Amino acid sequence: MELISDQWVDPYFDTEKWEYFDLSCKSRDVTNDQVLKDAVNAGKQIGSIFKEPTITPTAVQQKEMGLSQPLSSPNGAMRKGWSGITISRDTIHIEGVELGFKNPVLFERHAVGGEYGAGWKEVGAGQLLTTFVPEDGSPPVVVDTRTLDNECNVAVVYHNPYDNVPDLAHIFFKRCLEHKVSPYVVTKKTVFKWQEFFWIKMKEVFDRHYKNKFKQLGLLPADGELPHLISDAATMQIIRWLDGNFGMAAHNYDGDMLTDEVAQVHRSPGFITSNLIGKTEDGRLIKEFEASHGTVADLWNMHLEGKETSLNPLGMTEALIGAITHSAELEYDANRGDIEVQRRHAKILNWCTTLRQAIHNTFRYGQGTRDMSGPEGFTTEDFVAKVAWRLDRYLSMQEDEEPPVLSEPSREYLRQYNVDRDAVQAMFQKYDKDKSGTIDFDEFARMLVKLGVAPISKDVKENYKIDEMIDSSSSEGEQKA
């Protein structure tokens, strides 16, 4: 990431006010995870976050790294701290480069709940009772009771918070409309009966706010209803619907698995975006952007050993572009009357567009990393340098470019342009009645009539020719004169 910052960002922007938090395992361990808490609090205030890949260390990694304690998932802390609604993951496309899906595939993964926050215990034989105690003081409710016959059992408890599903639904359906793709809600509600509530809430929002809009665009099946897919079927359709142009919304775990499948069909996780969307207490959206491909540990280890690497940074770059764009939008929305903010907003958006163009063109010209261009592809450093050169050239061309003059090019030099200029001059003088060197409207109309190309008025009777009207009026005028 330092290469990208040094060569693509710092030459064009002052980043001194950016806030940085070291979320490496060592830093989290030394600070007793205070650095993660600080990052979450800062993200809530700023509203736009770019996150590099992080890891949740296993017991083996904890020992290898010399960590004093187990560390929880930083992503889980962020999703909880920012009241996570959804994780949007979309396919990235480069015009002229064939990947997996021909057209966009959108995905909304519920950002909270499910197995990720589960509590569990290894227990023996006996009775397992799950009880809910309402916070209003009303009597407890038994959620489940069962007899465990095995001597070795793992009891697991988790829940799915559904208050923010309507927010997820609005985000999902708006994005599907924007990209003109067909929406699908994915659950396993036929077996997991409790997932019915997710489907009900999604459909309520769809029917009330979006159904007619999707109908008008022809994005629904013949019955005009919101399609539902069983998660098993979704895994099959993802590898069949290679034309793309669809979106899916699912629970947390299903969304995690299905987006991994989308990534593999679309060549690699490097061609998928990942955007966590949360919300503050006052309703302001928080957006965190990261690459979906994780830490790419094998390439990092090669780098530490001094070996040559070829990392495709497209996913990280899209995350960086997303975070910078959202930050610019937040500032613009808060200062719409500020001319300086408007100029900065325009500059930032132009830089983002130009950077994306520079990267895409570098791939298109066969100068990509080795995952795209084969063994002869660029190393990590060479690819970043090539994009930096192209970005600088594109931006310089924009600064020096004169506004285009919108006029028809001269036809004099065309081979088939054999015009008798003397004859044209004679015709001009014939219709330039007052010898002024110009032709006014009446003279122009008379010329069109004589040439037989004058538009016919709808008010004229069918058998009464326009040229007869003009000739008649002309002779009357001459008689009067």
Between helices 34-46 and 74-81, what is the axis angle to 10°? 40
Q: What does the pLDDT average to over 286-307?
A: 81
- Reported as a single tens digit per residue, the pLDDT across 225-255 is 999 999 999 999 999 999 999 999 999 999 9
Between helices 314-334 and 339-364, what is the axis angle to 10°? 160
Q: What does the pLDDT average to over 73-87?
A: 92
At residue 256, the pLDDT reads 93
Q: What does the pLDDT average to over 155-180?
A: 96
Q: What does the pLDDT average to over 269-279?
A: 91
Convert 440-452 to b/e letters by CB count within 10 Å (16 or more is b). Answer: eeebebbbbbeee
- Reported as a single tens digit per residue, the pLDDT across 26-48 is 999 999 999 999 999 999 999 99
Q: What does the pLDDT average to over 190-203?
A: 96
DSSP type of residue 267: S
Statement: residue 464 has pLDDT above 80:
no
Tokens 């069109």, residue located: 448
At residue 475, the pLDDT reads 45
At residue 20, the pLDDT reads 94
- pLDDT-derived band at 298, boundaries 50, 70, 90: confident
- Of 148, 144, 146, the residue nearest 130 (C-alpha): 144
- Reported as a single tens digit per residue, the pLDDT across 354-391 is 999 999 999 999 898 888 888 888 999 999 999 999 99
- Yes or no: say if 289 and 46 are a contact pair by the CB < 8 Å rule: no
Cβ neighbours for 457, distance < 8 A, ≥ 6 positions apart: 466
Statement: residue 335 has pLDDT above 80:
yes
For the chain, the average pLDDT equals 88
At residue 295, the pLDDT reads 66
Distance CA 297, CA 319 (A): 19
Long-range pairs, 161-167, Cβ under 8 A, ≥24: 161/112, 161/113, 162/197, 162/198, 162/201, 164/83, 164/85, 164/112, 164/279, 165/110, 165/198, 165/201, 165/202, 166/201, 166/204, 166/205, 167/85, 167/86, 167/279
Convert 204-217 to b/e letters by CB count within 10 Å (16 or more is b). Answer: ebbeeebbeebeee
- Of 327, 328, 316, the residue nearest 355 (C-alpha): 316
Statement: residue 462 has pLDDT above 80:
no
- pLDDT-derived band at 312, boundaries 50, 70, 90: confident
Percent of the chain with pLDDT over 70: 90
Q: What does the pLDDT average to over 301-321?
A: 87
Q: What does the pLDDT average to over 67-84?
A: 91
- pLDDT-derived band at 458, boundaries 50, 70, 90: low
At residue 148, the pLDDT reads 97
- Yes or no: say if 184 and 248 are a contact pair by the CB < 8 Å rule: yes
- pLDDT-derived band at 456, boundaries 50, 70, 90: confident
Is 0.75 topped by the overall pTM? Answer: yes
At residue 473, the pLDDT reads 47
- Yes or no: say if 162 and 124 are a contact pair by the CB < 8 Å rule: no
Tokens 């003059």, residue located: 405
At residue 480, the pLDDT reads 39
Choice between 467 and 110, residue whose per-residue pLDDT is larger = 110
Convert 218-241 to b/e letters by CB count within 10 Å (16 or more is b). Answer: ebbeeeeebeebebeebeeebeeb
- pLDDT-derived band at 417, boundaries 50, 70, 90: low
